[in-house]
Amino acid sequence: MPTPRPPGLILAGDSPHAAGARAMWARRREQYGPNGLTAEGAATLRKNGAWLPHDRATHCVRGHKYTVANTARAKDGKQRCRACQTLRRHRRRWAALQAGKLARLKAAMVRAHPDRGGTPFAFIHARRRYLAALQRVSA
């Protein structure tokens, strides 16, 4: 087993940056025990302000309050607002439905074109419906 280095000793070929990195990892080893973060290490991180800053948030970006029922944890450990997740899910579903509706309206407009055997009146009507739906989706 190698002998520990005295603090502040920089060997040949070592840069001060490498020595600083070793010191940082030594501090982290003190905070993290063999089974993860120790209670003392967590307290130290909180005291020094190095704890996850998003855990201090009380509301999400859209203003929903973080409560037990409204908070989910992502795989990366961050808080997620369940109300915002629901809004995103509904928006994706709505966009998919509108995309299908737009495709049907565009196909109807193409079929109503006078070059394809339709009448000018039918084409103008189909085009207006398609453009109105397109405007609703874009807004």
Domain positions in the chain: 15-51, 90-138
Ramachandran quadrant class, 7 (left: phi over 0; alpha: psi -120 to 50; beta: rest): beta
Cα 52 from Cα 23, distance rounded (Å): 21
Cα 98 from Cα 93, distance rounded (Å): 9
- Strand runs (DSSP E) across the chain, as ranges? 32-33, 36-37, 71-73, 79-81
Q: Which of 6-10, 20-24, 54-58, 133-137 is modeled with the greatest confidence?
A: 133-137
At position 127, the amino acid (one-letter code) is R
- The pLDDT value recorded for residue 73 is 82
Of 112, 114, 7, 43, the C-alpha closest to 129 is 112
Residue 80: strand, helix, or coil:
strand
Q: How far apart are the first and last CA of the chain?
A: 68
As a whole-number percent, the residues of the chain with pLDDT over 70 amount to 58
- CB-based burial of residue 126 (10 Å sphere; 0-12 exposed, 13-18 middle, 19+ buried)? buried
Specify the higher pLDDT residue, 63 or 35: 63
18 pLDDT band, cuts 50/70/90, is low
Cα 90 from Cα 58, distance rounded (Å): 24
Residues 83-124: pLDDT tens digits? 999 998 888 888 888 888 889 999 999 999 999 999 999 999
80 pLDDT band, cuts 50/70/90, is confident
Residues 32-50: pLDDT tens digits? 655 556 666 666 666 655 5
